[in-house]
Structure 1
């Protein structure tokens, strides 16, 4: 993976990996050269920028700005208010800081997250946190979820056409809007953290439990590990673009031809609050595919198993198949933070996390 730019981070020069840019308007018209470029991105790397700086895409940028305002309102609330929402299901609810393993050995994560699923937002009385539940807030969430769903479906359709798929074999037919799925909008707030002194740091390396992830972020911190490389490097945030990752389900649906994107989040500026929004487009719950262990499983089974692996202790994660966290993608060597080590700390038990959950009947 060629890179021409580096940045200073953690006392060393770290690459900033180049990414291809796909034009959203060209995808909508399914221009052959853009379709070919899109397919190559998914086959060779598993990620790309989606350029939304056109009349077709600018509304999604505007929607993101409204979502950011709503996020600030939610995350600025006292912890007891956020915990009222709780973790209702793996794709719906609130996860406080420290719910998962961190990016460093013997740390927990450094972010809090609120998730609202596509299925939930369509209910007559959706389960939404009370401090963002007025009609204008719900409309913002609806617009964000609908817009991200439109973008990701356009990408799926373009990939199907680019590969010459027809009829029931097209990827869109595993992602019908009328069928239950775990597709969800996740809003994430990373707290200021210093890797030398803090015990809550970043977001551990993983591939996404999704077919496609549409990520909006205006701040540095996302790192990827391209196929065939031995080092994590940064992704540069670019105004007017979304970052698209191929997730596990689309890799499986492509019979492992597409690459999943191994990535993590680290503190780039230890003093800043970082905000990002990700939409995880996921296949219908009962979609069947062959995972990286050769098992024939449903999309929902893979989602729930991987989610529990995210919450597991480091010991339990180490004992689980690597295909869970990394979607079967292979690594040449382990790269955490070089030689930096932190004092050992006790992991948070899954049961302790779940005590904040709210039961919905």
Structure 2
């Protein structure tokens, strides 16, 4: 059973006590009104933490919460379909299509694989009215659900982006939203993720590896425990810890692109997803708001890259074999964020699994 949403300071996981880190809560209705105190609060959250919870309770956020429930119902039907139907188009592009279980490194590093399947729907394709969506949900009602959800998510994230521009004192073309225009191509995506029970995927297919997001902002919905973060800055030595889901709230993460656009002043959220209850099916919805493809920014290594180039390079790193990931600069998977300390002070991956994984990695390489 998951703990209550009144977050304790620690929670038992894998036979030990793990921190439950607090999150600032931002009121969406106040942000929509550009309330000066709430604008300052959300700006401070991005400068100091790189994440916060967005309270969508109330008339202004209710539509988003209703759209979320519709998407969850769609997800349950889609992920129950046969694999060949879900994988009708396969992974069309790095931000578009279906990924079956086991395509990426898992939450516990080399030798583990992810334990989730994912469907990604392009905002551009939905807007153009020609989405490449697998047949189990390619009907007018389901497409309407996806269109409504993407529209709601886009509005919510643009409100946040506008507030951050104001909070940072940006004007005119320098405002963040001017590189996130709706009529310009981008890799903005609605991603739907289904984490399978461990007894179905096997012990070596667990969770979602530690990373920062490629996005500018990530709007993430999940009622189930499993998301872990590592607080940044002076708190960087802290271990990975859970954050507690709250009814009517979404998690919001600052991604690499917005951190770069802020001149590295914003933090980017280091996080991963692990199985809290290994027997449950876990569902989450993430809207990745990304900058226009041709937006230029300077990454943490001083390179000038476009948003599309950064997206494609980082996605390749996610799907590379673990031995290649280990050789890549941390600035790719972690967006240049600096961390200190161990993820898991007590080993939680059996030694025999690690040995077997090493052989598997050598074969992949």
Distance 2:362 2:76 in 1: 26
What is the rounded CA distance, in whole Å, between the counterparts of 1:5 and 1:336 in structure 2? 17
Quote the offset at 1:120 in angstroms: 1.1
1:1-361 correspondence runs (5 A): 5-105=9-109, 106-193=111-198, 198-227=203-232, 228-336=236-344, 338-342=346-350, 343=353, 344-345=356-357, 346-347=360-361
Contact 2:115 2:201 in 1 (8 A): no
Contact 1:98 1:348 in 2 (8 A): no
In structure 2, the CA distance between the partners of 1:197 and 1:290, relative to structure 1 (3 Å rule), is: same
Provide the rounded CA distance (Å) in 2 between the counterparts of 1:288 and 1:350: 34
**Contact 1:287 1:298 (8 Å CA) reproduced:** yes
For structure 1, the 5+ residue unaligned runs are 352-361
> Scaled by the length of structure 1, what TM-score is found?
0.93
Q: Say if 1:212 and 1:282, in contact at 8 Å, map to a contact too.
A: yes
Cα separation, partners in 2 of 1:348 and 1:141, compared to 1, 3 Å: farther
- The C-alpha deviation readout for 1:11-66, integer Å capped at 9, x for no partner, is 11111110000000101110111011011000000000100001000110000000
Per-residue Cα deviation, 1:82-125 (whole angstroms, up to 9, x for no partner): 12120000000000000000012311000000000101112233
Segments of structure 2 that go 5 or more residues without pairing to the other structure are 1-6
Residues 87 and 134 of structure 2 are in contact (CA less than 8 Å); yes or no, is this contact kept in structure 1? no
Report Cα offsets for 1:119-173 as digits up to 9, x if no partner. 1112233211111011000000001111100000000000111111100000000
Which secondary structure state, in structure 1, belongs to the residue aligned with residue 124 of structure 2? helix
Contact kept, 8 Å, 1:116 with 1:185, in 2: the verdict is yes
| CA displacement 1:168-207 (0-9 Å, x = unmatched) | 0000001011100000000000001169961100000000
Distance across 2 between alignment mates of 1:196 and 1:278: 22
Runs of 4+ in structure 1 deviating by more than 3 angstroms, as ranges, are 194-197, 347-351
Q: Does the CA-based 8 Å contact 1:107-1:347 persist in structure 2?
A: no
User: How far is the alpha carbon of 1:340 from its aligned partner?
Assistant: 2.5
CA contact (8 A) 2:122 2:131 kept: no
Contact 1:97–1:110 under 8 Å retained in 2: yes
- Equivalent pairs counted in the alignment come to 349
The verdict on how the C-alpha distance between 1:348 and 1:283 changes in structure 2, with shifts beyond 3 A counting, is: farther
- More displaced 10-residue stretch of structure 1: 174-183 or 342-351: 342-351
Name the structure with the higher helix share.
2
* Stretch moving more, 331-340 or 27-36: 331-340
* Maintained 8 Å contact 2:323/2:361: no
What is the alpha-carbon root mean square deviation over aligned residues?
1.8
User: 1:311, 1:350 within 8 Å by CA — same for their partners in 2?
Assistant: no
1:6–1:14 contact (8 Å) kept in structure 2: yes
